[in-house]
Amino acid sequence: MWRHAWLACLLQPYLCLAAADANPFVAVPGAELHSALPLGKAQSVRVRAFLLQRHPVTSAEFLAFVVAHPQWQRGAVPAVLAGADYLGDWQAALDPGPLVMARQPVTRVSWFAAEAYCEAQHARLPDWYEWELAAAASATAKDARADPAWRQQVLDWYAHPGGGAPGAVEHGVANVYGLYDLHGLVWEWVRDFNSLLPPGTDPEKFCGSAALDEQQKENYAILMRIAMLGSLRAADTGRLVGFRCARSLEGAP
Amino acid sequence: MKRGGAAAAAILALLAASTGSGAGLPGDSLYQLHAELTTQQAATVGFDVYRGHPTLISMFYGSCPAACPMLIDAMQVYESQLDHAERARLRVLLVSFDAARDTSRALARISRLHHADTTRWTFASASESDTRRIAALLGISYRRMPDGDYDHSLLVTLLDSEGRVLGSTTKLVGDAEFAAKLRAATQIVSRAY
């Protein structure tokens, strides 16, 4: 039935607004982050408190956006802002079709499209450090990266991300901030994806274990993500590349 | 009645979408990006300011100690290999990573320092989000370092008069293939707009 959700959106816009409310922004307190990214002489980076959406943006949420912003419908977007495969698994520009679940993360969206979506929510994409801080948490700890069980669980997904479409959001447990699915469903665009690899870096070399010290080996899953995001172009779309939005908190420490 | 009105508005919106934006630009034109630039003359122009001309485009920052002055010099060397008529058709756009420090006044100073032909060269800065979009569009990676410097890739891109990429180079000197593309692009008489 949800396939006709766009009609409902047209006639009763509040239905779509309600859909947006189903992915609220959750506060992540500021912290010192020991990033997997090389920081030069510094040991850590200060991440200011921010808001992050509870789960990756879903197909239903993205459908409401393209209904309201027709220039982002498949077929209307210039190739330079979204590649040929943009929303390529949808049946039609305004119909995800029977194989795409309303509650699954939207994928095959370019960085430009993800940015435009967030802008329409008066938000932005998270910066890498913000995403990394949020994604370091388990259900019980803010920084679970040294916990072997948690690390193994994360690594298992990166090793076997699955061949099909991503599953529904919020199926597992929330992390300590109340955020879902930072690992296990999709990769996520970040605002500064084009800052992640030092200029001229070969992603394969960056990812290769020879280049990593012990501390970084513990973060191997995160480094894979950095290498993957850093190797993308902004118009690229990927079968497992989605996103969620963030907001700054004015005057946050 | 209210519902009918909403549906009609929606249909109009859908019709408007099919006409698209960017008036007649090809889908692979970089000028599909709507970004606002502030120039060394403190003018506000669009990212497509040089639409209608073959254009060299790159990014830099003014307080850059070595790489950026070399980049600007290199672009001047590439255009010096053109004859007078070819060069007259070419435009050059340099967008700063560092809007906070590269004010119009700072950009004008850099322009003077390099004796840039301001009838054909524009030094500009943009908002943080537009800067990031332009870099993403060009495939330039950059990162602001804690000391205020920027770690960034050096890339010069050649656009045709409609904003399509004809070629690019990471070599500051001696990319013969790129130089040949530049000459070919400037030999074609551009359509006027």
| Percent of chain B clearing pLDDT 90 (strictly above) | 70
Average pLDDT over residues B121-134: 96
Per-residue pLDDT at A253? 59
Per-residue pLDDT at A158? 75
Instruction: Return mean pLDDT, chain B.
Output: 87
Residue pair B35/A115 in contact (Cβ under 8 Å)? The answer is no
Interface of A with B in 112-151 (CB under 8 A): 112, 115, 124
Q: At what angle do helices A59-68 and A13-21 cross, to 10 degrees?
A: 140
Q: In whole angstroms, what is the distance from residue A25 CA to residue A120 CA? A: 14
pLDDT band of B43, cuts 50, 70, 90:
very high
Q: In whole angstroms, what is the distance from residue B158 CA to residue A209 CA? A: 37
Q: Would the CB atoms of B32 and A191 count as touching at under 8 Å?
A: no
Look up the pTM and report it: 0.85
Q: Yes or no: is domain A2-38+46-248 CATH 2.40.30? A: no
CB pairs under 8 A between A and B: 82
How does DSSP classify residue A144? -
Q: Would the CB atoms of A76 and B17 count as touching at under 8 Å?
A: yes
Cα B77 to chain centroid, rounded: 18
Q: In whole angstroms, what is the distance from residue B136 CA to residue B141 CA? A: 7
- Which of A106-120, A123-137, B11-25, B56-70 comes out lowest in average pLDDT? B11-25
Q: In whole angstroms, what is the distance from residue A158 CA to residue A174 CA? A: 19
Give the ipTM: 0.82
Convert B80-114 to b/e letters by CB count within 10 Å (16 or more is b): eebeeebeebbbbbbbbbbbeebbbebbbebbeeb
DSSP β-bridge partners for residue B57: B93, B157
Q: In whole angstroms, what is the distance from residue A165 CA to residue A56 CA? A: 14
Per-residue pLDDT at A159? 72
Q: Would the CB atoms of A195 and B143 count as touching at under 8 Å?
A: yes
Q: How far from B60 is each of A24, A239, B63, B150, CA to CA, in Å?
A: 38, 34, 9, 9
In this predicted structure, the answer to whether residue A2 has a pLDDT above a threshold of 60 is no
Q: What is the pLDDT of residues A187-200, one digit of tens each?
A: 999 999 998 876 55
Give the position of tokens 């967008």: B95
How many Cα atoms are found within 13 Å in the side-chain-facing hemisphere of A170? 12
Residue pair B78/B178 in contact (Cβ under 8 Å)? The answer is yes
Q: Where are the extended beta strands (E) located within chain B?
A: 36-39, 44-46, 55-60, 91-96, 121-125, 142-144, 150-152, 156-159, 165-169
Q: What is the pLDDT of residues A51-102, one digit of tens each?
A: 999 999 999 999 999 999 999 999 999 999 999 999 999 999 999 999 899 9
